[in-house]
Structure 1
Amino acid sequence: MNHHAYEDRIAGILLGLDRLRAADLRTTVVSLGDREVIGYQCNIHGAAVHRYEHASPADSEMLAAFESRLGVGLPADYLQWITTVGDGGAGPMLGLLPLAQEAEDAAIDYAADFPFTADRPCAPAAEDSEIQWSENIGRIHRGATFLANEGCGMYNLLILRGPAAGQVWWHSNEHAAALPVLHPDTHKPLTFLDWYELWLSRALDPDHDQIGSFAKFTDRGASRA
C-alpha cells in the first residue's frame, strides 16, 4: 500500500477520534481542599489516561538510530503514524506507548526476530512453571515493541522483525503468552492501522460493545468477539 493510502486511512481515523472525543470526554472540577484541579471522565476504556491527546511526532534522529539498532525498517503504516500524528498518546486501551518504551521489566532484544507466527503462537506457560514462564518471556521479548497497555499485565505488541513483522499481537505477561490479534470477519492478523480502526469502529458503534481487551480477537477469544 502506498503512502497516500495510509494518509487517507489516518485522516479517517483522526476524524473518528474527533467524534469520539466530543462524545466521550467530559471534564469536572475536583476540589483538593486548598485548590481545585480539572478531572476527566470517560466511558471508553483507558481514555481518561490519554484524554484523546497525541504526543509529539517521533524525532528523525531517534528513528534513524532505532532502525539501525533494529536492522530493518519499521512497519510503513506505523512509521507514518508516529512521524505525522504522534509517537504515543490517543489510541486503543490506555493509549499508544512511545516507540521502544518497555514494560514489566522487559529487556527487548530488538536485533533478534520475533519467533512466533499466527500458525505457531506462544501459548500460555504451564501454571506454576517458572522455567517455562521465563523461557516464553525470553522468546516473546524479541523483535517487537510494546504498543499499548491494556491493564492487568496485558499488552498489545507490534512485531517489528521476523515472519510476523507488521502484525499486532496480544501479550499476557502474567501467563507468558503471545497470540496474534485477528480481524473478526477475515480472521487475518491485524496491522497497526487495522488494529486502530477496529478499536475506533467499536468505540463509535452503539450496536457493539467497546473493546476492553484484544484478547477477545485472538483464537482463544474469537467466540466472544
Structure 2
Amino acid sequence: MWNRDQILTRLAELRGADPDLQAFGADTHQYRLNPPLPEADLVSFETRHGIRLPGEYRDFLQQIGNGGAGPYYGLFPLDGYPARDALPSEHPNFLRTPFPHTRSWNPPYDTPGYEDDDHTTGSLPISHEGCGYIVRLVVTGPERGNLWQDARCSDAGIHPLCTSFHPWYNAWLTTRRAT
C-alpha cells in the first residue's frame, strides 16, 4: 500500500520547488518525515491505550514515518507533542472508549458540555489545520479508520471527512503544489 521511496521522492520534489517553505504549513513540516516507528513502540502504545491502530495509519507509522510532512501543518508524531497533550490525562480510557459519532455533530456552541472531551473519545489527533481545527483518526467505534474534523474552535462542531488515512494523505501528496 505504501511506497516509502515514492513518498520521499515526491517530498524532495516539493522541497525543491519550495526552498523558502512558503506553501501553507511547509515552514512547520519542511517536507520531511520523522523516522518510522519500530513495531515494539507501536505495540507499547497500543497496549498502553487498549487499542489496535487502524491498519493504514499503523503501516504508515511503521513503514514511512512517525509524523512530519503531511496535510496542513503536517502529521503529529504518535506519542509526542501535541498529540500526547491532546489526550486528556483525566480520562485514562480515552482511546479505548468508542468514538460517539456516526454523523456530523454540531449543536449550538453554548450547549452545556460542547467543548467536553467526551465528544472525541476513541479518536487520535493526527494533524492540525491551524486556528484550532484538528484532524482526528477514529481508533475505536463504528467509524474506526475514518478521519473526522474537530472544528469546535469556530463553533462548527465535529464532522466526518469521508475518508480514511491512506486516501487523505495520498491526495495531499499527489495534489500538493509547492507554490
TM-score (norm 1): 0.67
What letter matches 1:95 in structure 2? G
SS at match of 1:49: helix
* Structure 1 alignment gaps of length 5 or more: 1-5, 27-40, 182-188, 207-225
Distance in 1, matches of 2:141 and 2:99, equals 5
1:133 counterpart = 2:84: no
Task: Name the structure, 1 or 2, with higher relative contact order (CA <8 Å, separation 6+).
Answer: 2
Does 149-158 or 62-71 show the bigger shift? Answer: 62-71
Q: What is the aligned counterpart of 1:114 among 95, 99, 113?
A: 99
User: How do 1:78-157 residues align onto structure 2 when only pairs under 5 Å count?
Assistant: 78-100=57-79, 101-103=83-85, 106-107=88-89, 109-117=94-102, 120-123=103-106, 125-129=107-111, 131-135=112-116, 137-140=117-120, 142-157=121-136
Hey, what does 1:33 align to over in structure 2?
Answer: none
CA distance in 2: counterparts of 1:11 and 1:144, whole angstroms? 29
Q: How many angstroms does 1:103 deviate by?
A: 4.9
SS of residue paired to 1:17: helix
In the alignment, structure 1 residue 66 sits paired with structure 2 residue 51: no
- Give, in whole Å, the separation in 1 of the partners of 2:29 and 2:63: 18
CA distance in 2, matches of 1:192, 1:110: 17
Secondary structure of 2:42's counterpart equals: helix
1:7 aligns with 2:17: no
- Cα 1:121–1:103 shift into 2, 3 Å: farther
CA contact (8 A) 2:32 2:68 kept: yes
Task: State the Cα RMSD in Å.
Answer: 2.4
Q: Give me the whole-angstrom Cα distance separating, in 1, the residues matched to 2:87 and 2:178.
A: 36
Counterpart AA for 1:111: R
Q: 2:33 aligns with which of 41, 45, 54?
A: 54
Structure 2: which 5+ runs fail to align?
none
Shift in alpha-carbon separation, 1:205–1:18, aligned structure 2, 3 A: closer
1:92 maps to amino acid = P
Q: 1:192 aligns with which of 165, 174, 177?
A: 165
Identical pairs, percent? 30
Q: Distance in 1 between matches of 2:152 and 2:86?
A: 7
Distance in 2 between the 1:176 and 1:59 partners?
A: 37
Q: Distance in 2 between matches of 1:198 and 1:113?
A: 27
1:198 is displaced (CA, Å) by 1.6
**Letter in structure 1 aligned against 2:47:** S
Distance in 2, matches of 1:205 and 1:151, equals: 18
Give the match for residue 23 of structure 1: 17
8 Å CA contact 1:170–1:179 kept in 2: the answer is yes
Match in the other structure for 1:210: none
